[in-house]
Structure 1
Amino acid sequence: MKHFFSICTTLVLLMGCSWNSPLEIFSHPYTVDTFDNGLKLVTVETGYPNIVALYVVVQVGSRNEVESGRSGFAHLFEHMMFRGTKKFPSEKWDEIMQAAGAATNAYTTDDRTVYHAVFSKEDLESILELEADRFQNLTYTEEVFRTETRAVLGEYNKNFANPLRKLTEAVRNEAFTTHTYKHTTMGFLTDIEKMPGMYDYGLQFFDRYYRPEYTIVAVVGDIDHIETKALVKKYWGTWKRGSYQAEIPVEPPQTKAKRLNVTFHAPTLPMLEVAFHAAAYDDEQIDSAVLDLISYYAFSENSELYKRLVVKEQKVDTLHAAYYDHRDPYLFSVISRVKNSEFLPYVEKQILATCRKLQQELVPSTELEIVKSHLRYQFALGMNSSAAIAGTLAHFLGLRGTPDTINKRYALYQDVTPREIQRVARETFTSERQTIATLTHESSMTNTDSKEAYPQ
């Protein structure tokens, strides 16, 4: 890893500040306003001229789909929200956005749904009016609803023609027994197939969650806070607060290791996922920050494991950790694509051995500090436009509702020590938390099932 560390050291010097710099990582001035109806407005003045990025964060994702047989509706409404209102039908909405030269899109995750537009600052009022209208007055027929649900089914079939998505879906379904993270953002296939007949429930879902108390309007770029606040109050201030709160089920502790094989419908290289139940995103408790550092140190392209399996031995062509910020405890996974199914037991043992090494040996302090610096530099490098700043901000607003969480989170990285790495590795990488899955084209596997139980 000598070459990697020399590069990272150079990057830190180029930044002109060390990890211990008192400067906050998110340094743009911002204001958070909460209106009487519960709506939050976050304004960020970036210094980039003429451009504004509007991100509307709805703190609703597949996590909120608590009713049996009704998964996938958060993602469905990402689609439905482009169907227009009586005042601004979809064609009129498109026309106004195109006339403004706005780049628009949306996405859904397990924890949030985000709608975004980037445009010239002189169009701020007209686009705030446009967006406020669809959030409060979305209108569609039952026929349109059915058409969109069929489009979602098509999207599911397309996405899950990807073996990685299929593997991840199976691991989540196996690892979780109770929490709604059991299903992906797309939802269970059986639920998606039933969606065309659930028009009335769709109306109920929108009425429950598309409410001001679930919504954060982030306006980022060449703006004035006072003017922006007045415009948001004008168009969004009369939106009525709702009363629905979903009771998100708590996942009980896993008590024994789990193992499964997923059969893929088409020829593909075999895949392996080693997953452990892990801590939720936090900006006060350190465990999830520690796992972020482990993810990069032990399983990135610069790690010893990657260099051995991918570069030197060439038994694997992809290897990475997947540990994504979530509001509730999620999974820390190590995923690899293996060149031959005969290598699956060996690759699994090497991944588990890497976890064991983190439990038994302290990470060198100098190497840990370089990884911290890399994460800080990587974040700062991405803050190069109002749109980029708004996109990053939306992620954290979906988790905590305030930009302050960014600085608190990065301060936690600074506090991580080799002892904390060891402690969290010992608590997280245990057989009781473990789910191991393989994906192959074969209907059955032979000589690929590792007999090694995870050591305590």
Structure 2
Amino acid sequence: MLMKKRRKLSIAILFALCFTVLPLNATFFPYLMYEKELPNHMRIVVVPIRDARTVSFATLVQTGSRNETDHGYTGYAHLLEHMMFRGSENYSTEDRVNLLYRYGGDSNAFTSMDYTCYTVSCDPAGWQEVLALEADRLMRLSLKKEDFKAETGAVIGEFGISEKYPSNRMDNALRACMFQGHTYEHSVIGYREDVMNMPDGYEYIRDFYKKEYRPDKTIMFIAGKIDRPGDVLSKIEDLFSGWTYEPAPLPTIRPSLKPVSCQDTLYDASIPAPRVKIAWKIPGYAQDRLGHIAARILAEHYFSDNSPLMIKLRDEKKWISSGTYSVPLTIDPYWISLDLVLTEEGVGAAIGDYVLGILQDSRYTLKAGELESLKKRQFYKTHMQLSSPSSILRVLADYAHIKGDPQEINHYFLALERLEILDIRQCKENYLTRRNQSELWMLAR
């Protein structure tokens, strides 16, 4: 009996040395994380979920449109995402489809300004084969010329569709003004001229893949029905141990919080309704975690559907029919944006001045009790997204992309918990000002 106990103790010690168990439920995340960093600096995170019926993968590559620093080559992070479904050294496109079909698999991906994420969900019985499939495309993507030609055509078609949406055109125009000199000034899909020239960029995308898809920029998350997380970590390490890269300096991207006020009007007779977009530049999460979180709280307070401002604009003034706001979680300074669909009465109204007046009116200032309610609301809204292995990984990846830290979700909510009225007031005074407020209108005439 004593020998058995000693053996169990030795196994436990060996298990602890091989990887780190991170009990994140102390702050926000309700599951255990088993995390390991490989010698090549790739990070692996395994999240066992009791009663899950599937296994999900989310592979985060810290490369997005923000990393497109070469003139004339915007949109290549998104194009490379397309190419990642076109086969690898050991798996053709057909092989991939058949393997995922065998295990009821679902595979998808998206590219953002800051990162690209590849997702797969499957029957737990197929996790090892799906893992090998994912590893092969990360390390040994085929990048055949005929596939490149097909995908550049698909992206050109996608670009043409995106241009038809008024909201996209407005985003692009305002982004180009507010973030001049930074790679946030162009959209994820890229500038029109660069997209149209993509068929000539075969050699460039090969270099882009080699430069940007590196183990030190990659985090692989796996969640779901996992009985032996140590076996999963060991298997991943075996697969990726040969993934090497040549350390090279990455381009310097300099963020700027300099206030900016862009004012412009676009005209399009075909739009279904006139619109206005109002935006304020705010700190990026990587530079100022607390300031960025304060901006998100302010946006919720002033611009949510039932806020006093929106009720006045929609129900009392009848200047708008609807409105939404957005505060993307970004590395560098980006925006709070308020997107309003106008009524006929709203077209000639001084909406920007009215919004600024509400922001400066002490009657609508955020109070301490309201701050606590908004903290709880943000907590529970995020917690409700942790409803399945795939959605859990999507949330984890969105927070982890900022600094490459799988625990960032906990750092975020710890900072949110510590947020005080003084932080809110300082953020509002610094950024929700006239000299930092931009407006873009889109009218039919």
Q: Give the letter aligned to residue 190 of structure 2.
A: G
User: Which of 233, 246, 270 is residue 229 of structure 1 equivalent to?
Assistant: 233
Shift of residue 49 of structure 1?
Answer: 2.7
Alignment deviations for residues 312-358 of structure 1 (CA, whole Å, 9 cap, x no partner): 43321222221111011111222211112753533222221232237
Shift in Å, 1:287: 0.7
Cα distance in 1 between the residues matched to 2:288 and 2:199:
43
SS at match of 2:338: strand
From 321, 324, 340, the equivalent of 1:336 is 340
Cα distance in 2 for partners of 1:289, 1:348 equals 24
1:87 aligns with 2:86: no
Residue equivalent to 1:39: 42
Question: Which shifted more, 38-47 or 244-253?
Answer: 244-253
Is residue 2:103 matched to residue 1:100? yes
Q: Hey, what's the Cα distance between the residues in 1 that align with 2:138 and 2:41?
A: 14
Corresponding position of 1:16 = none
Secondary structure at the residue paired with 1:125?
A: helix
TM normalised by structure 2 equals 0.90
Q: Could you tell me whether the CA contact under 8 Å between 1:361 and 1:422 is conserved in 2? A: no
In the TM superposition, what whole-angstrom CA distance separates every residue of 1:366-422 from its partner, at most 9, and x where no partner exists? 122111111111112221211111111111121232232112211222222223222
Query: What corresponds to 1:217 in structure 2?
Result: 220
Identity among equivalent pairs (%): 24
Relative to structure 1, the CA distance from residue 438 to residue 341 in structure 2 (aligned partners, 3 Å threshold; closer, same or farther) is farther
Say what the alpha-carbon RMSD is for the aligned residues: 1.9
Q: C-alpha distance in 1, partners of 2:26/2:42?
A: 30
- Equivalence map 1:183-198=2 (5 Å): 183-198=186-201
Partner of 1:304: 308
- Shift of residue 255, structure 1, vs aligned partner: 5.6
- Confirm or deny that 1:377 pairs with 2:380: yes
Structure 1 residue aligned with 2:366: 363
CA distance in 1, matches of 2:271, 2:296: 33
Distance 1:331 1:256, change over 3 A: closer
Cα separation, 2, equivalents of 1:325 and 1:73: 21
SS in 2 for 1:326: coil
Instruction: From the superposition, tell whether residues 251 and 414 of structure 1 become closer, same or farther in structure 2 (CA, over 3 Å).
Output: closer
Where does residue 267 of structure 1 map in the other structure?
271
Contact 2:54 2:124 in 1 (8 A): yes
Which of 274, 277, 283 is the matching residue for 2:281? 277
Number of positions where the alignment pairs a residue of Structure 1 with one of Structure 2:
420
CA distance in 2, matches of 1:23, 1:230: 27
One-letter amino acid of the counterpart of residue 259, structure 1? Q
Specify the SS of the correspondent of 1:435.
Answer: strand
1:38/1:241 contact within 8 Å kept = no
Retained in 1: the 8 A contact 2:287–2:331?
A: no
The partner residue of 2:114 within 106, 111, 130 is 111
Find the partner of 1:393 among 392, 396, 400.
Answer: 396
Q: Of 293, 297, 312, which residue of structure 2 is paired with 1:293?
A: 297
Letter in 2 for 1:422: R
Preserved contact between residue 257 and residue 333 of structure 2 (Cα < 8 Å): no
Q: Secondary structure at the match of 1:426?
A: helix
Pairing partner for 2:352 from 348, 352, 374: 348
- Give 3-state SS (helix, strand or coil) of 2:230's partner: helix
TM-superposition CA deviations, 1:235-282 (whole Å, max 9, x none) = 122111232443233244546522111233623311111112111115
The question of whether the paired residues in 2 share the 8 Å contact of 1:261 and 1:438 is answered with: yes
Find out whether 1:202 has 2:184 as its counterpart. no
The unaligned stretches of length 5 or more in structure 1 are: 1-21, 443-456
Secondary structure, counterpart of 1:25 in structure 2? coil
TM-aligned CA distance change 1:231 to 1:364, over 3 Å: same
CA–CA distance in structure 2, aligned partners of residues 256 and 82 of structure 1: 40
Q: What is aligned with 1:258? A: 262
Structure 1 letter corresponding to 2:267: T
Amino acid aligned to 1:428: Y
Q: Secondary structure at the match of 1:345?
A: coil
Conserved? CA contact 1:49–1:221, under 8 Å: yes
- Structure 2: runs of 5+ lacking an equivalent: 1-24
> Match for 1:316: what amino acid?
I
Q: Which letter does structure 1 place at the counterpart of 2:398? A: H
